[in-house]
Chains A and B, each alone.
Chain A
Amino acid sequence: MNASANAGVLSHSGSDANAHANAQKTQQYSAFYVHKHLYGIDVQSVQEVVKPMPVTPVPHAPPYVIGLINLRGQIATAVGLLELFETGKKSTPDMMNIICNIEGNLISLMVDEIGDVLEMTRTDFEETPATVPVAVARLLEGVFKTKDALMSVVSIEKVAAEIGIKKKS
């Protein structure tokens, strides 16, 4: 997937002109760390953040499905970003869970560490650099330049598509 296609997915920017018009608008992102990198996810799609939970493994599931989590009686699918990003590392049960509700499907993204909610301005947004490994880039919307780091924006839609959640049209 190439970088320009990624940019097109951004929720509020259909074209470059639009992007410019929205330049001053800010958007909030839930920041987290995976594999020592800073990532963010649209705060709108995050239902809650929960502490490490017991995970019930599902035999024969794809490697990135770590298992199922009992979230107060609801069953959420725990998705390991380490595996999804093909880092070669394995998620462990002591990781934090970012619970996202995608069209009624509960997904828990397993991450190393939870950061703050960051407010980002569109002017700081860039397309995903071509050098980012495809395994990661295919799931990103783009990158925000912050003062001291880069925050890659994980597209929950792309993650959903990747793990086979069909969009209800």
Chain B
Amino acid sequence: MQIADGVLKEFIAEFNEMLERMGLGLSSPDSHRDPVELVRSIYRDIHTIKGNAMMFGLPLTGRLTHAIENLLDLLRQKKTPLSPELVTQLLGGLDYLQQISLSLSQHKHEPQIESAINQSVASFEAFYLRLNASETAVPTGASEPQPNIAAAVAAPASSPSAEAVQPNIERVAAKSNAEEGIQETIRVNVQVLDNIMNMVGELVLVKNQMQQRVKNLHEEDVQISQRLSVITSELQTEVMKTRMQPVGNVLNKFHRICRDLASELKKDISLEILGAETELDRALLEAIRDPLMHIVRNSIDHGIETPEERRRHQKPGQGKVSISAFHEGGQVIIQISDNGKGIDVERVRKKALEKGLITGDKPLTEKNILDLVFHPGFSTAEKISNVSGRGVGMDVVKTNIEKIGGTVELESKAGQGTVTTLRIPLTLAIIPALIIACQNQAFAIPQGRIVELIQIDPSTSEMHLESIEGSPFIRLRGLLIPIIPLQDLFSKTKPFSGGSRPVQTSNEYGILSIVILSSEGSTFGAIVDDIYDSTDIVVKPLGSGLDAVKLFSGATILGDGSIALTIDVTGIAEQANIKNRAKGQTEQKISAETMRLRDSTDYLVVELSEAGQYALPLSTVHRLEKIAIRDIQMSGEFKVCLYRDAILPIFSLSKILGYKEERDDVDASVIVLSRKGRLYGLRVAGILDIMTSDAEIDPTVSQRREICGGFIQNTEVYTIIDPFAVLDNCHPGADGGIAAPDDPAAEQARKVQRKKRRILLAEDSRFFRNQITHFLQDSGYTVVAAEDGLKAFNILKSSEGKSFDLLLSDIEMPNMTGLELAEAVRAEPGAKTLPMLAITSRYAANDIARGAKAGFDQYLEKLNRDELIKHIDASLGVVA
């Protein structure tokens, strides 16, 4: 018999409690107001003990209580008054139970008194028969049970006669033990605990207020206040503890479930539970019960194979599900792992395709596919069984766990099993939060939702707030993070619409404080006026009449007595429409890995005076500006405006492309381009969006030099504009205005030198291959292009290989990636010094490191023509 400690303790505590209650009732039955009710109550207790004993596999207890129960049932039915004989008989039975309880608590098993119990059971049965035969046939047998009991108790001992008095001693001993037990644990109504918890919460608040006030008072007052503060904190901790329960309370029930399910499914499964003593707030424990159950059922039903199947795969016939609970970083981690067949990624993918959750055209990583399991309505069970596959799936698990501020992760290895990890906060009632200010009002943001804090100081910071049509965003480690000015979001008068006015900072230095938040997979930033403090808050419900306000999840009272609303991060994301945008973002994230393989490019989507969607490679865009029409002046034949203390020439993109010029409104949307260190403005009718696309680019859509191709994304056709070609066109000497003309003679000298140099270009995207070849040839270089790394490598190894002066390679390519190519080239004798430049549409610091390791000399941006040529020139020693 193996019972987890916590459960056994709980069982014994209850057992003793009931024994005491019954003992008390039976010892003084006359004082009991309602004898019938007394019998009933004893019957209930015995019945409970019997049930528990059966569950824990305690045969002696079970048999004895069964016999007692039968007798009591008779009493109950016939409403026989409790005769003294009966009481004695019952008390005798209780003594045995007490003895068992004592043994259980000391040795964790039933005492070796089988024969005694058998005799006792027999005496109960005899009593039962006698009573049953005649209700009144009690008198003669009155004294009979007594010796029986004495004998029975004596039986286990070696010399019965010597220990005939045993039961009384045992009873006394057990009693004192039970009394001690009472001191160790008492059962308290949960409601009482909750009330205490609430009041302690209030006390914490009062204490905080007190602390604020006594600052200016006499020293003694401060001391008293400090003591109050210490005691309150300790009280709070202790009260929190009363709400803590071992997770075993939930986990241990799974033994039974596992056994039942396994036999139903004809599987052989052992369940292992580790860390059952790990404690968790009872409200949370309640909340994780069902999700846990679901995961365990999943493991048993989907995970573990049948013994035959397991043996076929050289696994032991018995499968193993283990649940372990432990503390980590202020959270409780519960891991459910099985050594079953793991999740069939291919089947999940097919299922997702079938259900239209994904489209087949994008390859997904294994992790992405596993995440699909959390998608609503997803269930891979082939037939709907009693066990799982009832349509409620992992999505419910995820929702429920996230509701209490936790997370779920899934890992699976085909053939080896699945690990599900739940991360649960310790408690809900008091949460750590960051207090921020917005328009002189304090708000609390739950720490769990905060990713990081960022300050942007325009005078020093490299990061700056950019905007698309007034919607601000920042670039954070290569990701575009949408930014919400909380002030706008909270403004009552103007509903948030993306905010078309400039972001205001309350700070006189213009320093922006941004809290980066995450909600349901999307990340965004909130501009706040000030960041105050990190503190533990007691969250209270928001109050009546405010159900419709989704921005806040509650309110808390701060130390100074003022109220801070608790920001609901998901709510503000919804309000600011981040969710929809973020959806795109996550989808992009899902395939982020795969997109790299297909060369994705970021585009700025703009509107021109002519219908259609026009896209500019984002890498060519320097800044986006709104310039007031009245600030735009004519300088000769060009429109110009004053921009950062210089003259910015502004060209109409529509006009250059042969359409009519943009209508003059109040403001002009201007794309600022930087070329050779000079700035140019391209005016467009509107800036619509930033998008990432890996769609195939068709370069044949237009013969115009300014249009370098077109692509289709989500059934929309986008025309790609080459902004530099536009500048060339609109302004042959495009270097008027701000730009100083480059020295034509020097450029000519460079061109002559370049003629003798041969460049091998490895690039799988036709569009980029053509573009780069085109502008390298334009500048004078001889270019040979290869469609992937392998082709390039073969060319290098061939006879003409020696003639190349430089290798220019894309990174993500089929057959052989740029990194593999670089390594292969560096491994070739005679190619150790060949200059190699990596070109890519996006890169981060760790990409550069990886590239350098593979052998690349430099990482460059694909469409940044001038930079590219400058670096190639430098690598090849081309000088003016």
Q: Which residues of A contact B (CB under 8 A)?
A: 54, 56-62, 65, 68-70, 73, 75-77, 79, 102, 105-107, 160, 163-165
Q: Is the Cβ of B563 less than 8 Å from the Cβ of A75?
A: yes
Partner among B202, B491, B563 whose Cβ is within 8 Å of the Cβ of A56? B563
Q: Is the Cβ of B543 less than 8 Å from the Cβ of A106?
A: yes
Partner among B490, B546, B548, B552 whose Cβ is within 8 Å of the Cβ of A77? B546
A residues near B771, Cβ cutoff 8 Å: none
Question: Whose C-beta in chain B lies nearest to the C-beta of A104?
Answer: B544
Partner among A75, A77, A79, A107 whose Cβ is within 8 Å of the Cβ of B557? A75
Partner among A62, A73, A105 whose Cβ is within 8 Å of the Cβ of B548? A62
Q: Is the Cβ of A70 less than 8 Å from the Cβ of B544?
A: no
Task: Say whether, besides A59-B492, A61-B546, A164-B544, A73 and B205 are in contact (CB < 8 Å).
Answer: yes
B 525-565 to A, binary, CB cutoff 8 A, 1 in contact else 0: 00000000000000011111111111110010100011111
Complexed CA–CA distance, A65 and B542 (Å): 12
Partner among B206, B545, B555 whose Cβ is within 8 Å of the Cβ of A164? B545
Task: Say whether, besides A73-B202, A75-B557, A58 and B552 are in contact (CB < 8 Å).
Answer: yes
A residues near B541, Cβ cutoff 8 Å: 75
B residues near A58, Cβ cutoff 8 Å: 542, 546, 549, 552, 565
A residues near B563, Cβ cutoff 8 Å: 56, 68-70, 75
> What is the count of residue pairs linking A and B with beta-carbon distances less than 8 angstroms?
76
Q: Is the Cβ of A70 less than 8 Å from the Cβ of B543?
A: no
Q: Is the Cβ of A60 less than 8 Å from the Cβ of B545?
A: no
Q: Which residues of B contact A (CB under 8 A)?
A: 202, 205-206, 441, 489-492, 540-552, 555, 557, 561-565, 575
8 A-B pairs within 8 Å (CB atoms) are namely A60-B490, A60-B551, A61-B546, A70-B562, A73-B557, A106-B543, A163-B544, A164-B544
Q: Is the Cβ of B557 less than 8 Å from the Cβ of A70?
A: yes
Least CB distance, A67 to chain B, in whole angstroms: 8
Least CB distance, A92 to chain B, in whole angstroms: 16
Task: Say whether, besides A60-B492, A70-B562, A165 and B548 are in contact (CB < 8 Å).
Answer: no
Q: Is the Cβ of B441 less than 8 Å from the Cβ of A164?
A: no
A residues near B575, Cβ cutoff 8 Å: 60
Least CB distance, A165 to chain B, in whole angstroms: 5
Q: Is the Cβ of B441 less than 8 Å from the Cβ of A165?
A: no
Least CB distance, A93 to chain B, in whole angstroms: 13
Least CB distance, A101 to chain B, in whole angstroms: 10
Q: Is the Cβ of A77 less than 8 Å from the Cβ of B441?
A: no
Task: Say whether, besides A57-B441, A60-B492, A73-B557, A164 and B548 are in contact (CB < 8 Å).
Answer: yes
Q: Quick one: which of B491, B541, B549 has the most chain A CB within 10 A? A: B549
Q: Is the Cβ of A56 less than 8 Å from the Cβ of B565?
A: yes
Least CB distance, B201 to chain A, in whole angstroms: 8
Least CB distance, B575 to chain A, in whole angstroms: 7
Beyond the given A59-B549, A59-B565, A77-B546, please list 8 additional residue pairs across the A-B interface where CB-CB is below 8 A: A59-B489, A68-B555, A75-B563, A105-B543, A107-B545, A163-B544, A163-B545, A164-B548
Partner among B206, B489, B546, B561 whose Cβ is within 8 Å of the Cβ of A65? B546
Least CB distance, B550 to chain A, in whole angstroms: 8
Least CB distance, A158 to chain B, in whole angstroms: 13
Complexed CA–CA distance, A70 and B543 (Å): 11
Complexed CA–CA distance, A58 and B552 (Å): 9
User: 10 shortest A-B CB distances, which residue pairs?
Assistant: A163-B545, A59-B490, A105-B544, A56-B563, A77-B543, A73-B202, A165-B544, A68-B563, A73-B205, A164-B545
Q: Quick one: which of B544, B561, B563 has the most chain A CB within 10 A? A: B544
Q: Is the Cβ of A165 less than 8 Å from the Cβ of B545?
A: yes
Question: Whose C-beta in chain B lies nearest to the C-beta of A105?
Answer: B544
A residues near B565, Cβ cutoff 8 Å: 56, 58-59, 68
B residues near A107, Cβ cutoff 8 Å: 544-545
B residues near A75, Cβ cutoff 8 Å: 540-543, 555, 557, 563
Complexed CA–CA distance, A35 and B547 (Å): 28
Question: Whose C-beta in chain B lies nearest to the C-beta of A64?
Answer: B545
Partner among A54, A61, A163 whose Cβ is within 8 Å of the Cβ of B562? A54
Question: Whose C-beta in chain A lies nearest to the C-beta of B203?
Answer: A73
A residues near B540, Cβ cutoff 8 Å: 75
Complexed CA–CA distance, A105 and B546 (Å): 12
Q: Quick one: which of A59, A102, A107 has the most chain B CB within 10 A? A: A59
Complexed CA–CA distance, A58 and B544 (Å): 12
Q: Is the Cβ of A59 less than 8 Å from the Cβ of B491?
A: yes
B residues near A62, Cβ cutoff 8 Å: 545, 548
B residues near A164, Cβ cutoff 8 Å: 544-545, 547-548
Partner among B206, B441, B491, B544 whose Cβ is within 8 Å of the Cβ of A73? B206
Least CB distance, B270 to chain A, in whole angstroms: 47
Q: Is the Cβ of A59 less than 8 Å from the Cβ of B551?
A: yes
Least CB distance, B543 to chain A, in whole angstroms: 4
Complexed CA–CA distance, A165 and B491 (Å): 25
A residues near B551, Cβ cutoff 8 Å: 59-60
B residues near A65, Cβ cutoff 8 Å: 545-546
Least CB distance, A85 to chain B, in whole angstroms: 16
Q: Quick one: which of B492, B540, B546, B549 has the most chain A CB within 10 A? A: B546
Question: Whose C-beta in chain A lies nearest to the C-beta of B556?
Answer: A75
Complexed CA–CA distance, A38 and B492 (Å): 31
Q: Is the Cβ of B544 less than 8 Å from the Cβ of A102?
A: yes
Complexed CA–CA distance, A70 and B575 (Å): 27
Complexed CA–CA distance, A77 and B564 (Å): 13
Least CB distance, B558 to chain A, in whole angstroms: 9
Complexed CA–CA distance, A106 and B545 (Å): 10
Complexed CA–CA distance, A102 and B563 (Å): 21
Complexed CA–CA distance, A69 and B544 (Å): 12
Complexed CA–CA distance, A68 and B575 (Å): 21
Complexed CA–CA distance, A77 and B547 (Å): 12
Question: Whose C-beta in chain A lies nearest to the C-beta of B565?
Answer: A58
B residues near A61, Cβ cutoff 8 Å: 545-546, 549
Q: Quick one: which of A57, A73, A163, A164 has the most chain B CB within 10 A? A: A73
Complexed CA–CA distance, A126 and B174 (Å): 74
Least CB distance, A164 to chain B, in whole angstroms: 5
Complexed CA–CA distance, A102 and B253 (Å): 41
B residues near A54, Cβ cutoff 8 Å: 562
B residues near A69, Cβ cutoff 8 Å: 563
Q: Quick one: which of A54, A70, A163 has the most chain B CB within 10 A? A: A70
Least CB distance, B205 to chain A, in whole angstroms: 5
Q: Is the Cβ of B441 less than 8 Å from the Cβ of A56?
A: yes
Complexed CA–CA distance, A107 and B544 (Å): 7
B residues near A68, Cβ cutoff 8 Å: 542-543, 555, 563, 565
Q: Is the Cβ of B545 less than 8 Å from the Cβ of A77?
A: yes
B residues near A163, Cβ cutoff 8 Å: 544-545
Question: Whose C-beta in chain B lies nearest to the C-beta of A63?
Answer: B492
Complexed CA–CA distance, A58 and B548 (Å): 12
Least CB distance, A70 to chain B, in whole angstroms: 5
Complexed CA–CA distance, A57 and B22 (Å): 58
Q: Is the Cβ of A70 less than 8 Å from the Cβ of B561?
A: yes
Least CB distance, A82 to chain B, in whole angstroms: 16
Complexed CA–CA distance, A69 and B561 (Å): 10
Task: Say whether, besides A56-B441, A58-B552, A68-B563, A79 and B545 are in contact (CB < 8 Å).
Answer: yes
A residues near B545, Cβ cutoff 8 Å: 61-62, 65, 77, 79, 107, 163-165
Complexed CA–CA distance, A73 and B210 (Å): 12
Question: Whose C-beta in chain B lies nearest to the C-beta of A108?
Answer: B543
Question: Whose C-beta in chain A lies nearest to the C-beta of B541?
Answer: A75
A residues near B557, Cβ cutoff 8 Å: 70, 73, 75
Least CB distance, A45 to chain B, in whole angstroms: 14
Complexed CA–CA distance, A106 and B542 (Å): 11
Complexed CA–CA distance, A56 and B557 (Å): 11
B residues near A76, Cβ cutoff 8 Å: 543
B residues near A70, Cβ cutoff 8 Å: 557, 561-563
Least CB distance, B394 to chain A, in whole angstroms: 32
Complexed CA–CA distance, A73 and B206 (Å): 7
A residues near B489, Cβ cutoff 8 Å: 59
Least CB distance, B198 to chain A, in whole angstroms: 10
A residues near B543, Cβ cutoff 8 Å: 68, 75-77, 105-106
A residues near B492, Cβ cutoff 8 Å: 59-60
Q: Quick one: which of A68, A106, A165 has the most chain B CB within 10 A? A: A68
